[in-house]
Structure 1
Amino acid sequence: MTGIEYDDFLDLDYAPTDTDLLCEFTIAPAEGMSWEAAASRVASESSNGTWAALHVEASELTDLSAVAYDIDESTGTVMVAYPADLFEMGSMPQILSCIAGNIMGMKAVDSIRLADCEWPRQLVEGFHGPQFGSAVMTEKLDADDRPVLVTVPKPKVGLSTDAHVDIAEQAWRGGVDLLKDDENLTDQPFNPFEERVERSLAKARELTEETGETKDYLVNITAETDEMIRRAEFVAEQGGGFVMVDVVTAGWASVQTVREHCEDLGLAIHAHRAMHAAFDRMEHHGVSMRVIAQVSRLCGVDHIHTGTAGLGKLANEDTPGINAWLKSDLYGMNDVVPCASGGLHPGVVDALLDALGPEILIQAGGGIHGHPGGTEAGSRALRQAVEASQQGVSLAEYAADGHDELQTALDKWGSETPR
């Protein structure tokens, strides 16, 4: 008989191998629990440990124990190394069930947060990753030297199909590249999916010809998995180049399935992160947005919302750091284009591009449609703000030089961000 003791999962002299998945946790040990005891329980519960002695011969066991190998009490950080063979290749649900599963509810810790991961090649190669990545900016759009501009018709639910298409036309004519459904617009009676997609993409083709710039539509296909596949096929049949998935609420297995089908259909995937804050908002517990972004890249999205570096309406987060990881080398896997969204308007574009650089999507909703001159004027103002920033001219100077739409936007909103 062999028993698995918690001490077996703690080795502060352990040197991780290049096949280990390394996870950084921030923990607060429960009352009466030492740092070493709490760290070993994290490694145990997330791999092959249990609280009782087992009647299993050692010769019958495969050694798949995780190891807590570093503890920094000053920062609350615990590092855990997981052998790659603990995981099923290409199964994100199984991986997360280990590293962000039962451990989130353990009594041994008052709180625990999965803050970061270092992914070994062996695991990365089990995933498809993005089909296009940053190439989407030139292969599907005409934004090789500037940010891609995106808008969601507002209000985001409740508009009729007629109103939706009319707003799309104005936005595209004003200089926006992409129309986007928001997270909770799918197939409702006031704006049915198939009618909206067919008419919006037909209008996109008209505006592409009129403006000489490619116009397209991020279509929200979020639903039960089989229905998402059917909707993706419909988008492709109508000539669309993109689909959107609410990746957290749909689930990672669904995202992986959609990614496989979208490769056959030639569709890029836009990831909305609705519900992410249920996991990442508390700094001391849950799963960080950095890890959610990593998982999204592995599962195969081409762009994802990562925040605004504090320049929008949402809580601040490490947007530059997340974006850098999404653009970093990952054993040759395609990168992901970050999307900045949430309370943006023309008056913050210069600061946004200073913080995040030009290879991003900029999504503005109210910051376009709330323009006193209407949607087309709001789109022109956003495009003018990008032009000014890329030319190194202040927004105020550019606005005063005959760019009336930008001037109106600055008069209305200045450089303040909403709350």
Structure 2
Amino acid sequence: MTQRIVAKYWMETGDDPMRAAETIAGEQSSGTFLKLAAETPELKERSGARVEALDILDVVDAPSLPGGMASKRYTRCLLTLSWPLENLGPCLPTLMATVAGNLFELRQVSGLRLLELQLPEAFAQAYPGPAFGMAGTRRLSGVQQGPLIGTIIKPSVGLNPQETAEQVKMLVDGGIDFIKDDELQANGPHCSFEERVTAVMRVVNDAEQRSGRKTMVAFNITGELDQMKHRHDWVLRHGGTCVMACLNSVGLVGMSALRRHSALPIHAHRAGWGFLSRSPALGWDFAAWQPFWRLAGVDHLHVNGLRNKFSDSDETVIAAARSVIRPLFKDQAMAAVPVFSSAQTGLQAHDTFKALGNADLICTAGGGIFGHPQGVSAGVTALREAWDAAQAGIDLRTYAATRPALQSALGFW
């Protein structure tokens, strides 16, 4: 039986819905804008995309997007297409061009969003997926249960290497599990990558000698491929345990190459996700986007956070987190670690834990830690205690009654 790639879309069209669906199927496989002699029935049967389902949702009188065909009615549908694997083989860049390429630009389309993606097992054989995931992250960080309590270096840019190391020392001395560079900080002249890593890892390694515990620091190695490999090697040479890259900046080819090179967990930042997703009538659902990056080999993947400062709803955030840990294939999970961030404090712990059903995650808080009246150490303690309360099923204020750091945090969170 032919293995097929299956994609589900929300579609809006001013054309006849089935004609629009068949236009998309043709454009993204063997067809074009007119009938060609070379597209024989045999070739179309072998290589053409197929309309598997078309379910009408409703009809509206105005298009969601500009530039489409003029019409008096626009039909909204759920469209399922499939392609034979033989068209492209298990190749992520070509897969992206197939399921999320020119179809967004067709005149018949006044709205199109990729909702779900199902892939043949051949992709699991072609791509290794995460090398570390949650188990490897726990082993390297020494956090055997509960979330990794983390934070982001702030200000995002402006600190020099020594100032960055001083901030890291406060956090490490305060018991933090995880620290990451901001996505804006990679190798600027004011804070060169090599100097920053050297200064920060001196602090981290010294603390490990004293305590036997090493804080995981995700250094932002985003850059050209040769630069990322060099920066990864620099982190590894200095005893680091994590590297970070911005997905939309380095692309699928860059991430796949980094995965093949890396001996460390890859922390993936989704900077730019909003331009792919924010319009409900265009782009991607996270559930369809994240398999590309899990297959490419990321270990940690940002999903935003509950009651965040961005536009994602709580339902969207939890759906994203669940999708990151959901098995991609029957026999191979390839789960990544969901990273909750963006205006997070201990107040979201109970709801996050309840919705996700576990604490296999990284929770990063900036102001929620740095803003504690008693300092960074108390901020780390308070956030960890909030998660302890969530996992124990104890009301936050009840739990805080005998825990001064958490009690004080409730006043500013």
Question: TM-score higher than 0.5 here?
Answer: yes
Residue pairs, 1:172-211, within 5 angstroms: 172-211=172-211
Distance 1:138 1:23, change over 3 A: same
| Corresponding residue for residue 388 of structure 1 | 389
Aligned to 1:135, the other structure's residue is in SS state: helix
Match of 2:30 among 48, 55, 78: 48
The residue type paired with residue 304 of structure 2 is: G
Alpha-carbon separation, structure 2, partners of 1:169 and 1:22: 49
Alpha-carbon separation, structure 2, partners of 1:134 and 1:58: 50
- Structure 2 gap ranges (5+): 58-75
Q: Tell me the alpha carbon deviations over residues 296-328 of structure 1, each in whole angstroms, 9 at most, x when there is no partner.
A: 1111101101122x3322222533333333223
Alpha-carbon separation, structure 1, partners of 2:407 and 2:30: 62
8 Å Cα contact 1:152/1:181 also seen in 2: yes
The residue type paired with residue 364 of structure 2 is: Q
- Structure 1 gap ranges (5+): 1-16, 414-419
Q: Tell me the alpha carbon deviations over residues 142-188 of structure 1, each in whole angstroms, 9 at most, x when there is no partner.
A: 22211111110211111222221111112122221111001110011
8 Å Cα contact 2:100/2:114 also seen in 1: yes
279-288 vs 374-383, greater mean Cα deviation: 374-383
Q: CA deviation at 1:235?
A: 1.0
| Corresponding residue for residue 308 of structure 2 | 312
Alpha-carbon separation, structure 2, partners of 1:377 and 1:165: 19
Alpha-carbon separation, structure 2, partners of 1:212 and 1:350: 30
Q: Tell me the alpha carbon deviations over residues 330-362 of structure 1, each in whole angstroms, 9 at most, x when there is no partner.
A: 232431111111110122222222222211110
The residue type paired with residue 390 of structure 2 is: S
Residue pairs, 1:136-175, within 5 angstroms: 136-175=136-175
197-206 vs 249-258, greater mean Cα deviation: 197-206
The residue type paired with residue 324 of structure 2 is: L
Q: CA deviation at 1:227?
A: 0.9
Matched, 1:64 2:47: yes
| Corresponding residue for residue 13 of structure 1 | none
Alpha-carbon separation, structure 2, partners of 1:342 and 1:232: 26
Residue pairs, 1:305-344, within 5 angstroms: 305-308=302-305, 310-314=306-310, 315-316=312-313, 317-329=315-327, 330=329, 331-344=331-344
Moved over 4 A (4+): 59-62
Alpha-carbon separation, structure 1, partners of 2:208 and 2:2: 48
| Corresponding residue for residue 106 of structure 2 | 106
8 Å Cα contact 2:25/2:51 also seen in 1: yes
Aligned to 1:43, the other structure's residue is in SS state: helix
Residue pairs, 1:31-42, within 5 angstroms: 31=14, 33-42=15-24
Alpha-carbon separation, structure 2, partners of 1:19 and 1:136: 32
Number of residue pairs the alignment of both structures matches:
389
Residue pairs, 1:262-277, within 5 angstroms: 262=262, 266-277=263-274
8 Å Cα contact 2:301/2:324 also seen in 1: no
381-390 vs 58-67, greater mean Cα deviation: 58-67
Aligned to 1:372, the other structure's residue is in SS state: coil
Alpha-carbon separation, structure 2, partners of 1:18 and 1:280: 32
The residue type paired with residue 80 of structure 2 is: M
Alpha-carbon separation, structure 1, partners of 2:55 and 2:41: 35
Distance 1:60 1:390, change over 3 A: closer
Aligned to 2:186, the other structure's residue is in SS state: coil
Q: CA deviation at 1:254?
A: 0.3
Alpha-carbon separation, structure 2, partners of 1:362 and 1:55: 57
Q: CA deviation at 1:117?
A: 0.3
Q: CA deviation at 1:213?
A: 2.8
Alpha-carbon separation, structure 1, partners of 2:347 and 2:300: 24
The residue type paired with residue 45 of structure 1 is: E
Q: CA deviation at 1:387?
A: 2.1
Q: Tell me the alpha carbon deviations over residues 382-403 of structure 1, each in whole angstroms, 9 at most, x when there is no partner.
A: 12212222233222122220x2
| Corresponding residue for residue 282 of structure 2 | 285
178-187 vs 205-214, greater mean Cα deviation: 205-214
The residue type paired with residue 196 of structure 2 is: R
Distance 1:349 1:256, change over 3 A: same
Q: Tell me the alpha carbon deviations over residues 257-286 of structure 1, each in whole angstroms, 9 at most, x when there is no partner.
A: 000001xxx211010000011101112211
8 Å Cα contact 1:137/1:148 also seen in 2: no
Aligned to 1:117, the other structure's residue is in SS state: strand
CA-based RMSD: 1.9
TM-score (norm 2): 0.89
Aligned to 2:304, the other structure's residue is in SS state: coil
Matched, 1:22 2:6: yes
Matched, 1:378 2:379: yes
